[in-house]
Amino acid sequence: MKKTRVRFAPSPTGPLHMGGVRTALYNYLYAKQNGGDFIIRIEDTDSHRFVPGAEQYIIESLLWCGIKPDEGVDENGKVVETASPKHPHAPYRQSQRKGIYRKYAEELVAKGCAYYAFDTSEELERARSEAEAKGETFIYNWSSRRKLRNSLTLPQEEVEKLLAGRTDWTVRFKMPEDTVVSMDDMIRGHIEVNSSTLDDKVLWKRADELPTYHLANIVDDHLMEITEVIRGEEWLPSLPLHYLLYQAFGWERPRFAHLSLLLKPVGNGKLSKRDGDKMGFPVFPLQWTNAEGETSHGYREDGYFPDAFINMLAMLGWNPGTEQEIFTMNELVDAFSMDKVQKAGAKFNPEKAKWYNKEYLRKKSDRELAELFIPILKDNGIDTDKEGIGHITDVVALIKERATFVGDFWNISKSIFTAPDEYVQKDVDKFWKEENWKPAYEAAKACSTGEELEEYIRSRELPMGKVMNCTRLVLTGAASGLGISDIMRLIGHEEVLRRWENAVNKL
């Protein structure tokens, strides 16, 4: 049996959408499950759509997610340009493979499966407007090509003259007339399309001596020995052409799987950046700043753990057939199967993304979370060496259940690291009565733990709620928040008394 080889073939036209990350993930899971290779190829033959920084962004995103390519990208996260035993098909950027494709285009012409087209853009524009005037749409196909300027209609000598003298000709695929193209998709099953509905796509352009997506894609999948093409459903309309191209070359074709779209949380349609901006969730793995200087949210910068993000994405369009929702990457590799990938689009639920993060946060050790908390504490002016990792870990143990992100820790635990510098006025109005705070202060002086404090209040038959609320106001600046015993334990008796002195002076 042939070794499984799949590829993720992004075009560097902007930041990677989370739908693209899911495509890469399913490719990766499929490869690993079958003991195969996951290859990265950069499809950058459309120079008009090239966006600087996008390629690096895409690779950095995959690496952050733990989707590690076997081929095409080196240990430093660079796209490989020179062939080696590990990267035998380099370069992996199509713009650098430019010289490869022309002969394949010409091979198809020689076989009668493609032809040279000499129509100028003005001529094509004219044909388009003429059709429009008649209420029709112009399509370059089996019918219209008979009336256009190409190697099928012009005499041989003229073709040769034009090929030599002009630099704006193209090679077009000669789409057969009225032929049923019969295809199989691993997710969608059997599909049939009549070729008469399809157009004669440009395969290669003399102007920039570059192939179009279709030719480069098929040639490279063939040369790189790709066994399965797993990609987004937006490429399904190209499948008949790709089938016919394989047939024309006489090459064995890979199997195909077209993944459904990620859909908006509410309403219909494809999940877009605009939905994210409107509802306040990221659609990109990493933060991205475009040429206009506008920055979009990223899962990484918003505080999501990559394994939580990946787990959530895996379940968008695939299910294990059981109730299990939490999967590590290795568990996903074992459990994934193409026959449980759904045909219908998957609605994205931003709340579920948060739920996943909360679950992953809970699973992490207190110590690991404490390490992640340290930079945030530092940013808030806390001397973390003085506090000590042991203490910070104790605080994390207390608060982690209340948090979704490590970024939530500071607000939840601020009152442990700093004395309140102000007090919530409505709580002051409600609870700061002399008959309550005086005994509470006495109690604080007498007791060093929360348990002792409670016992003190109970034995003297003081009003428990009122006294406790005063204490909490003094310790945290508000009458709600963390438990008093926990705060007392974590800040120590001396600090409790200091906060009391402060409060009595200020209030």
Residues that bind ligand GLU (CB under 6 A): 9-11, 43, 217, 229, 231, 235
Q: What Å distances lie between residue 495 and 39, 381, 412, CA to CA?
A: 58, 18, 19
Please, what is the minimum distance in Å from the beta carbon of residue 11 to ligand GLU?
Answer: 4
Distance CA 507, CA 498 (A): 14
Task: Spot the catalytic one: 273, 347, 352, 354.
Answer: 273
Helices 239-249 and 213-223 pack at an angle, to 10 degrees, of 50
Q: How far, CA to CA in Å, does 193 sit from each of 173, 197, 283, 356? A: 17, 8, 34, 41
CA distance 273 to 129: 34
Residues 93/42, Cβ–Cβ less than 8 Å: yes
Comparison of 46 and 442: residue with beta carbon closer to ligand GLU: 46
Report long-range pairs for 328-334 (Cβ below 8 Å, ≥24 apart): 329/66, 332/29, 333/29, 333/32, 333/33, 334/33
Which CB atom, from 212 or from 217, has the smaller least distance to ligand GLU?
217
Sequence length of the chain is: 507
Nearest-approach distance from CB 43 to ligand GLU, in angstroms: 4
Q: Which is nearer to ligand GLU, 10 or 285 (CB)?
A: 10
259 vs 443, beta carbon nearer ligand GLU: 259
* Shorter beta-carbon distance to ligand GLU: residue 187 or 482: 187
Decide if 250 contacts 276 (C-beta within 8 A). no
Closest approach of ligand GLU to the CB of residue 341, in Å:
16
Rounded least distance, CB 342 to ligand GLU, Å: 19
Nearest to 18 by CA among 271, 228, 226: 271
Closest distance to ligand GLU from the beta carbon of 221 (Å): 8
Dist CA 24 CA 105 (whole Å)? 29
Nearest-approach distance from CB 9 to ligand GLU, in angstroms: 4
CA 15 to chain centre: 9
In contact, 129 and 135? CB cutoff 8 Å: no
| Nearer of residues 235 and 405 to ligand GLU, judged by Cβ | 235
Pairing of strands 5-8, 37-40: parallel
Structure tokens at 124: 């094509």
Task: For residue 103, indicate whether it is catalytic.
Answer: no
Q: Is residue 216 within 8 Å of 240, Cβ to Cβ? A: no
Letter for the amino acid at 147?
Answer: K
Cβ atoms of residues 220 and 45 within 8 Å: no
* Least distance (Å) between residue 325 CB and ligand GLU: 29
The residue behind tokens 């899911």 is 22
Select 54 or 181, whichever has its Cβ closest to ligand GLU.
54
∠ CA 362-365-370, nearest 5°, is 100
Shortest distance (Å) from residue 10 CB to ligand GLU? 5
Q: Which residue has the tokens 């966006």?
A: 51
The separation between CA 190 and the C-alpha centre of its own chain, rounded to angstroms, equals 30
Least Cα distance to 34 among 70, 61, 62 occurs for 70
**Of 179, 160, 156, 157, nearest to 169 (Cα)?**
160
Q: Which is nearer to ligand GLU, 93 or 297 (CB)?
A: 93
Catalytic residues: 273
